[in-house]
Amino acid sequence: MKESTFLDLGSGAVVSRDAGAMTLNGTVNKTGMLLLLTVLTAAFAWNQTLSPTGEVAPGASLYMWGGLIGGFILAMVTVFKKTWAPVTAPLYALVEGFFLGSISAIYNHLYEGIVMQAVMLTFGTLFALLFAYRSGLIKATENFKLGVVAATGGIALVYLATIVLGFFNIQIPLIHESGLIGIGFSLFVIVIAALNLVLDFDFIESGVEQGAPKYMEWYGAFGLLVTLVWLYIEFLRLLAKLNSRN
């Protein structure tokens, strides 16, 4: 996400690429393509996760964990090899779809209707933040970026600790439960995930203005998809906590 991303590595200067440069329409189109690929594999995984009787199938964990681990690996490859984004970003969307479809089916099995609510909240947040960004209500200043990145890093550490402690059957109390603290934590995470959308918008706009290479359209679309996936999962978690209190 650094400005050097758009510099020519040989000369160190920003290069004007004209037809070969990143465009806003191109990034929007590629974002739509990634979302479509994600939905396709998610629909397949959903059908495979639930048995004809509506129960969770025995092999559901294969799609969930396979998609989660595979998506993480492809995401890391894309981050460190941006030039591979035209290939790795679509692959990430396909693999991540398996994870989303499987976990969504499980959540919907537990709390019917929760998935549609999470989808509507996710895209509602996307369009609300896009409007706020385009209208100037929210600006991606340096302090704003530092705050969001720091908060995101803190949340990542909490989730990493949760995974590591889980191997020893130790759970972090309260924040993953359905009490007021757990709901408050989920709301905080959702706010930070939503603010990451602003960083994505700013990154894409900066890339277009600086004449980033064409493959950065795929990278910008990939970054936006990653944030949307995170936001959707957090909405699912929050809604599940709320429903479990009823």
Q: Closest Cα to residue 205, out of 134, 148, 143? A: 134
- pLDDT tens-digit profile of 146-181? 999 999 999 999 988 888 888 888 887 778 888 888
CA gap 1, 148 in Å, rounded: 14
| Range of lowest pLDDT (30-34, 68-72, 115-119, 164-168) | 164-168
- Asked whether the beta carbons of 126 and 197 are under 8 A apart, the reply is yes
| Range of lowest pLDDT (49-53, 134-138, 176-180) | 49-53
CA gap 115, 222 in Å, rounded: 22
For CA atoms 46, 52, 54, 58, the dihedral sign is negative
First vs last Cα of the chain: how many Å apart? 43
Helix axes 85-110, 114-134, angle to 10 degrees: 130
Summarize the confidence of residues 188-204 as an average pLDDT: 95
| Range of lowest pLDDT (14-18, 112-116, 121-125, 210-214) | 14-18
* C-alpha pair distances (Å), 117 with each of 29, 92, 104, 108, 228: 25, 24, 11, 10, 14
Tell me the one-letter amino acid at 101. G
CA gap 49, 64 in Å, rounded: 9
Please check the confidence at residue 101 and state whether its pLDDT lies above 80: yes
Q: What is the pLDDT of residue 7?
A: 56
Please check the confidence at residue 72 and state whether its pLDDT lies above 70: yes
Residues 6 or more apart whose CB falls under 8 angstroms from that of 122 comprise: 228, 231, 232, 235
User: Is the pTM here over 0.85, yes or no?
Assistant: yes
Helices and strands in the chain, H and E counts: 7, 0
Summarize the confidence of residues 207-229 as an average pLDDT: 94
Q: Closest Cα to residue 68, out of 230, 195, 238, 240? A: 230
Mean pLDDT of the chain: 89
Q: What is the pLDDT of residue 1?
A: 45
Q: What is the pLDDT of residue 176?
A: 81
Q: What are residue 239's phi and psi, to 5 degrees?
A: -65, -35
Please check the confidence at residue 11 and state whether its pLDDT lies above 60: no
